[in-house]
């Protein structure tokens, strides 16, 4: 079981259990299953272009292969910035108290590229926070499910179905506009009619 989400507002801590909300749980899913000649489900695998290795599900998640066939474990790899500098690891925020920011403008959600949705189970929740959430207020906080190199932003909100955290990255939009509006010349409709000669047809 994963660690809880712990947040703080005005010095009062609240704790939530979390469960990912998946599309398949909401709408169901269909999938095509390949069967062998005896009717048993087949196991998916990938054959390398040179035919040297057959990779089954889960094998590629253990590391990376170079063109010469060498394998490097994920734990041996380091993330680099576009400038070639080593990036610091952003630790998981689960079980670590995060300060809430807000209430925030609801339009903030319009500029959030949501990557995951979690249903939160209030286990130890401050009454003031719960009342404000139920009144429609939104709060944001830093979120990282596991150790990686990028901390995301979570928006805490409540509805009649429960308390949720929407996790993603804010989108920086750049709008384009004309600095000077073009002035179009005024056309003389009568002059255009005079220039029209039906004999040319």
Q: Are 100 and 8 in contact (CB under 8 A)?
A: yes
What average pLDDT does the segment 63-81 reach? 76
Split at pLDDT 50, 70, 90, the class of 88 is confident
Q: What pLDDT digit, counting tens, does each position of 127-142 carry? A: 999 999 999 999 999 9
Pair 70, 64: CB distance under 8 Å? no
Around 63, how many Cα atoms within 13 Å sit in the side-chain half-sphere? 10
The pLDDT value recorded for residue 131 is: 94
Q: What is the mean pLDDT of residues 65-86?
A: 79
Q: d(Cα 187, Cα 123) in Å, to the nearest integer?
A: 73
| Cβ(155)–Cβ(165) below 8 Å | yes
As a whole number, the mean pLDDT across the chain is: 84
Residues 149 and 92 sit within 8 Å (Cβ to Cβ): no
pLDDT digits (tens, 9 = 90+) for 160-185: 889 999 999 998 777 777 676 667 77
Domain segments of the chain: what residues? Answer: 5-25+86-170
Residues above pLDDT 70, as percent of the chain: 86
pLDDT in tens, 11-56: 999 999 999 988 776 677 788 888 888 989 988 888 877 777 787 7
State the Cα–Cα distance between residues 91 and 145, nearest whole angstrom.
9
């Amino acid at each position: 079981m994963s660690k809880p989400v712990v947040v703080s507002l005005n010095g009062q801590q609240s704790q939530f259990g979390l469960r990912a909300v998946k599309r398949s749980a909401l709408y169901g899913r269909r999938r095509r299953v390949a069967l062998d000649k005896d009717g048993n489900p087949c196991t998916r695998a990938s054959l390398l272009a040179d035919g040297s290795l057959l990779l089954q599900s889960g094998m590629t998640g253990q590391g990376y292969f170079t063109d010469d066939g060498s394998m490097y474990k994920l734990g041996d790899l380091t993330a680099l910035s576009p400038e070639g500098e080593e990036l610091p690891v952003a630790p998981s925020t689960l079980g670590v108290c995060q300060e809430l920011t807000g209430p925030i403008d609801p339009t903030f959600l319009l500029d959030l590229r949501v990557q995951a949705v979690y249903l939160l189970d209030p286990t130890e929740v401050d009454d003031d926070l719960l009342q404000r959430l139920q009144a429609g207020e939104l709060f944001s906080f830093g979120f990282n499910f596991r150790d990686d190199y990028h901390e995301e932003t979570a928006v805490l909100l409540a509805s009649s179905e429960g308390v949720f955290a929407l996790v993603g990255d804010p989108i920086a939009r750049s709008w384009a506009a004309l600095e000077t509006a073009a002035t179009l010349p005024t056309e003389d409709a009568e002059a255009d009619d005079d220039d029209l000669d039906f004999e040319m047809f």
